[in-house]
Amino acid sequence: MTDVAAVETIDLGRRYHTKWGLRDCSLSVPEGSITGLVGPNGAGKSTLLRLAAGLSRPTKGTVSIFGQIVRPNSTEHLRRLGYFDQLRPLYPGLRVDETLRLGEKLNQQWDNGAALELLNELEVPLTERVSRLSLGQQALVALSLCIGKRPDLLLLDEPVASLDPLARRQLLETLLATVAERGTTVFLSSHIISELEPVCDHLIILSSSAVRISGSTEELLADHRILVGPRGTPLRGVEVISVRDAERQSTLLVRGRPPDLDPAWRILQPDLDEVVLAYLSDRIAGDRSETSDSPASTRRSPS
Amino acid sequence: MSGEPTLQFRLDRKSGVPAYRQVVDQVRQALRLGILRPGDQLPTVRDVVKQIAINPNTVHRAYRDLEAQGLTEGRPGSGTYIRRSLSKVPQEQPQLQRQLERWMRAARAAGLGDEAIAALVAEAAETSKKEEL
């Protein structure tokens, strides 16, 4: 990996009329990584990916691909990236093999074998018209176009959304095998987090048009803990991300090293799903972490 | 490279064990069971991600770990090969395994749960070690 990020945004924002689709977004996707972009519908995932692909003009800030600022209508960066859209803009009247031929004619470099591998593996009929394929199969045709380009960066907007579980698995396997050979950077959005966990080495969580947290999945897991203990006990030294209260017990997801806790508390290791859901849930425990005279933290010796 | 990969990996997504550890453990287990022997080639990274849909960097990391343990060696442009074996599996093993399974069934029939069984196994392992000394 080099110092140049595959995707880097600085203070990036995009406004649609009066509403921000994405705002104050500064993040970087390391080269060679497989970075997941998660968040609820309307969080700004597609907006971010479209901006990175140069299909949409930033209202504010910049986005760069491999160190070069993306300018809408410039074709320079397009050679290096493959962009997969949820709307799958294909020619419905063309057959699958004709669609691939179009890909071959329209791109300077084209690997028909790589494109065919995905389609053959998932048994997409090559002589069928695109309009007669299922939505899932159309998604595969669109993805095979991206892969045939042999790009350095794949931007994939919900690539598995319309697929059944088996096809989803097969698509991920074939996609990963393809990128494993070339070290392709993949930046993909999804709301199926459990499936992304073993796939992504980096994760960016978006909600309400803003980045909540980003980092390597390993760091995210190492930085968070679940604390289960008596309800209403204030805590110090950690940032509380989410709280779920039962009658006498609270379950907190916190960021940071928990202080020496009262033995009444149990400390558990969350999985990625739980970390993501904590960030996406609205029930944030505002000032709970600020309270000072906490019984839980009195055991902590000042140092 | 031709033929089937020498090993089929599995990924337990619910175990909480990191994926790279699962890959390392499965190679070590295959060495112990004699499924992999010195000179054998490990599945390529491409084969592994195709088998279990995990991040290629995770497989690289697991393979680096195995190399650091002295179990494998990477040959540039060719792949990763087994250097030495973890042969601690004598012929008695299948029989020992059957005995253990029989014991497990008996323990379950007696109403023991997983936790109680694990505790008994751990204690027996400790006791037998002491006897050896």
Decide which of A72 and B96 is more confident: B96
Q: Average of pLDDT values for B25-33?
A: 90
Place of tokens 């972490």: A289
pLDDT above 90: percentage of residues in chain A = 46
Q: Which helix (H) or strand (E) holds A104?
A: helix A96-106
Residue range B54-75: mean pLDDT, rounded: 93
Check whether residue B75 and residue B31 sit in a common domain: yes
A208 three-state secondary structure: coil
What is the structure's pLDDT at A161? 83
- Asked if A172 and B53 come within 8 Å (Cβ–Cβ), the reply is yes
- Decide: B112 and B123 in contact? Cβ < 8 Å: no
Would you say A206 and A45 are in contact if contact means Cβ atoms under 8 Å apart? yes
Backbone angles phi, psi at A63, to 5 degrees: -130, 135
Is residue B12 in a domain? no
Reported as a single tens digit per residue, the pLDDT across A194-216 is 778 889 999 999 988 889 999 99
Upper half-sphere CA count for residue A134 (Cβ side, 13 Å):
10
Q: How many CB pairs under 8 A join A and B?
A: 49
Specify the number of domains making up chain B. Answer: 2
Looking at the DSSP assignment, which residues form a beta bridge with residue A225?
A254
| pLDDT value of position B56 | 93
Q: Where are the domains of chain A?
A: 7-208, 220-297
Please tell me which of the candidates B16, B49, B52 has its beta carbon nearest to residue A180.
B49
Q: Of A199, A139, A283, which Cα lies nearest the Cα of B48?
A: A199
Q: For the domain that residue B54 is a member of, what is the CATH number?
A: 1.10.10.10
**Residue in A199, A200, A275 to test binding to B, most B beta-carbons within 10 Å:** A199
Q: For residue A23, what are the CA distances in angstroms to A27, A65, A69, A156, B18?
A: 12, 19, 18, 21, 34
d(CA A200, CA A9): 20
Does the distance separating the beta carbons of B56 and A198 come in below 8 Å? Answer: no
B69 and B34, same structural domain? yes
Q: Which stretch of A45-59, A101-115, B54-68, B91-105 has the lowest confidence by average pLDDT?
A: B91-105
Whether A183 has a pLDDT exceeding 70, the answer reads yes
Where do the H-state alpha helices sit in B1-133? 19-32, 45-52, 56-68, 93-109, 114-132
With H, G, I as helix, E, B as strand and everything else as coil, classify residue A220. helix
Partner residue opposite B53 with nearest CB, options A33, A173, A271: A173
The torsion region of residue A234 among left (phi > 0), alpha (psi -120 to 50) and beta comes to beta
Q: Which domain holds residue B101?
A: 93-132
Domain membership flag for residue B6 = no
pLDDT at A48 over 50: yes
Whether pLDDT at A186 is above 90: yes
Residue B69 included in any domain = yes
Q: Which of A72-76, A185-189, A225-229, B63-67 has the lowest mean pLDDT?
A: A72-76
> Of the candidates A93, A144, A176, A155, which has an alpha carbon nearest to the alpha carbon of residue A136?
A144
Rounded-to-10 torsion of CA B11, A257, A282, A197: -10
Answer yes or no: do A34 and B57 touch at CB < 8 A: yes
pLDDT score, position B88: 63
- Three-class secondary structure of residue A157 per DSSP: strand
Residue bearing the bigger pLDDT, A235 or B101 = B101
Q: Does B4 fall in a domain?
A: no
Determine the Cα–Cα distance for residues A32 and B126; give it in Å rounded to an integer: 46
Q: What is the mean pLDDT of chain B?
A: 87
Considering only the beta carbons, identify the residue of B13, B45, B47 that sits closest to A198. B13
DSSP 3-state of A218? helix
pLDDT in tens, B65-94: 999 999 999 888 888 999 988 766 667 777
* Same-domain pairing of B41 and B75: yes
Verify that B31 and B69 share a domain, yes or no: yes
Would you state the torsion angle of the CA atoms of residues A168, A174, A178, A183, taken in this order, to the nearest 10 degrees? 50
Closest Cα in chain A, distance from residue B35 (Å): 24
The predicted pLDDT at position A184 comes to 93
Nearest to A153 by CA among A54, A44, A46, A77: A77
Q: Which two tokens stand for residue A152?
A: 């350095």
Query: Which residue type occupies B58?
Result: T
Q: Are residues B75 and B110 in the same domain?
A: no
C-alpha distance from A33 to closest chain B C-alpha (Å): 8
Instruction: Pull the structure tokens for residue A52.
Output: 């990175």
pLDDT band at A300 (very low <50, low <70, confident <90, very high): very low
Q: CB atoms < 10 A from the CB of A119, how many?
A: 23
Question: Is B43 among the domain residues?
Answer: yes
Residue A225 pLDDT > 80: yes
Computed from CA positions of residues A132, A135, A141, A142, in that sequence, does the dihedral angle turn out positive or negative? positive
Q: Are A21 and A183 in contact (CB under 8 A)?
A: no
Chain A residue with minimum CA distance to B53: A173
Question: Is the domain defined by A7-208 classed in CATH 3.40.50.2000?
Answer: no
- Of the residues A171, A176, A185, A196, the best mutation for testing chain B's interface (the one with the most B CB atoms within 10 Å of its CB) is A176
Model pLDDT for residues A229-280, shown as the tens digit of each residue: 888 777 777 888 998 888 888 899 999 877 777 778 888 888 888 899 999 8
- What integer best gives the mean pLDDT of chain A? 85
Distance CA A76, CA A179 (A): 22
B70 and B50 in one domain?
A: yes
Instruction: State pLDDT tens for residues A80-116.
Output: 899 998 777 789 999 999 999 999 998 888 999 989 9
